[in-house]
Copies of this chain bind each other. A is one copy, B any other.
Amino acid sequence: MPALQNDTFIRALLRQPTEYTPVWLMRQAGRYLPEYRATRARAGSFLGLAKNPDYATEVTLQPLDRYALDAAILFSDILTVPDAMGLGLHFAEGEGPKFERPLRDEAAVKALKVPDLAELQYVFDAVKQIRHELAGRVPLIGFSGSPWTLACYMVEGGGSDDYRTVKTMLYNRPDLMHHILEINAAAVAAYLNAQIEAGAQAVMIFDTWGGALADGTYQKFSLSYMKRVVEQLKSEHQGKRIPSIIFTKGGGLWLEEIAATGVDAVGLDWTVNMTQARARIGASCALQGNLDPVVLFANENQIRSEVARVLESFGSTGANTPLNATGHVFNLGHGISQFTPPEAVSVLVDAVHDFSRRQRK
């Protein structure tokens, strides 16, 4: 594998000095890009796209050809793992993901098994192919849903407004919920480690639905299982540190506890004050975030001014902190909207680079 030409993202995750603040965007390879929609049309279906390493490579690289992004992220679906467990993932046209066989009774829960990684070979093949085609331009991020977030989909059978089914199981039959989460944690750890072996240079755990849990319940049913995953991750591969990131959407009240899992970086949504987050956990973890994705619908000046506000809020902690302090990866506070004008992303990426270089002078 060729050496990394731009390792700014990795260094920021490890809180080493960087010349500017690196930036990538959650869901950067996606529907807001016309070239993505063209590939998606050729693939015939979303799963046809996600399960084909050629297509997955193509769409992973698309945003890098347009924008000066500092990382690529594997194009894949968050539900590959439960699909490999045999739950029957499918996408009804115009709807979100659905499982044919959701976990609704004790027998289904008890039958659940950590999947054979061979079922997920298409993901590892995509990782290898992307690394090859990236040729060292920027690092590649691997990812997985968190054990809890996967469990939400596995029990609900799809998305939900209130997570009533999965939370009812959690409150009524915590034994069953812990059984699912133990299996999910083992599967997620093995899945991420296989991505690392295939070439992923950093890994991220998306705890998209952790914020639906009550305080106390979050710690027991989401955080503790992410901690298990982090503890099992390969922190090095072929002599290189592989940093890890946890992002609990709506988890701003729990940052100290997330940092205490031993993860390298904590993702922040836009409700979190970056100065306060840095004061709370910035000595132990890098921070990733946290621009409101709707800012990308504003005019160029407004985008630049909101980017500056996020960068300044990270940079301004405490009298003893130099402005060129390390440990910030710029990102949105959630995935980019499919309706985003693609030209707004250029403005954002260039503003992050320009402003953060000036900050360091």
A residues adjacent to B (C-beta < 8 A): 162-164, 167-168, 171-172, 211, 213-218, 250, 252-253, 270-274, 276, 290-295, 297-299, 302, 306, 309, 313, 333, 337, 339
B172, A270: Cβ atoms closer than 8 Å: no
Cα(A291)–Cα(B217), bound, Å: 11
Question: What residue in chain B is nearest A299 (Cβ atoms)?
Answer: B172
How many of these chains are in the complex? 2
Cα(A309)–Cα(B214), bound, Å: 12
Please give the distance in Å from A238's CB to the nearest CB on chain B. Answer: 39
B271, A333: Cβ atoms closer than 8 Å: no
Question: What residue in chain B is nearest A171 (Cβ atoms)?
Answer: B298
Q: Lowest 7 A-B CB distances belong to which pairs? A: A171-B298, A214-B270, A167-B294, A168-B297, A214-B292, A215-B273, A172-B298
B252, A162: Cβ atoms closer than 8 Å: no
Please give the distance in Å from A214's CB to the nearest CB on chain B. Answer: 4
22 examples of A-B residue contacts, CB within 8 angstroms? A164-B339, A167-B294, A167-B297, A168-B294, A171-B297, A171-B298, A171-B302, A171-B306, A172-B297, A172-B298, A172-B302, A214-B290, A214-B333, A215-B272, A215-B274, A216-B273, A217-B292, A250-B250, A250-B271, A252-B253, A253-B253, A253-B272
B residues within 8 A CB of A276?
Answer: 253
B215, A294: Cβ atoms closer than 8 Å: no
B216, A171: Cβ atoms closer than 8 Å: no
A271, B171: Cβ atoms closer than 8 Å: no
Please give the distance in Å from A303's CB to the nearest CB on chain B. Answer: 8
B residues within 8 A CB of A162?
Answer: 293-294, 337
B residues within 8 A CB of A252?
Answer: 252-253
B residues within 8 A CB of A298?
Answer: 168, 171-172
Which of A163, A215, A271, A339 has the most chain B CB within a 10 Å cutoff? A215
B residues within 8 A CB of A293?
Answer: 162
Please give the distance in Å from A235's CB to the nearest CB on chain B. Answer: 30
| 7 further A-B pairs in the complex, CB-CB below 8 A; given A168-B294, A172-B297 | A167-B297, A168-B298, A171-B302, A211-B271, A213-B271, A215-B271, A253-B273
B residues within 8 A CB of A216?
Answer: 273, 309, 313
Question: What residue in chain B is nearest A333 (Cβ atoms)?
Answer: B214
B residues within 8 A CB of A250?
Answer: 250, 271
Please give the distance in Å from A333's CB to the nearest CB on chain B. Answer: 7
B residues within 8 A CB of A339?
Answer: 164
Please give the distance in Å from A221's CB to the nearest CB on chain B. Answer: 12
B residues within 8 A CB of A337?
Answer: 162, 164
A215, B253: Cβ atoms closer than 8 Å: no
B residues within 8 A CB of A168?
Answer: 294, 297-298
Please give the distance in Å from A269's CB to the nearest CB on chain B. Answer: 9
Cα(A252)–Cα(B339), bound, Å: 29
B residues within 8 A CB of A302?
Answer: 171-172
B residues within 8 A CB of A273?
Answer: 215-216, 253
Please give the distance in Å from A313's CB to the nearest CB on chain B. Answer: 8
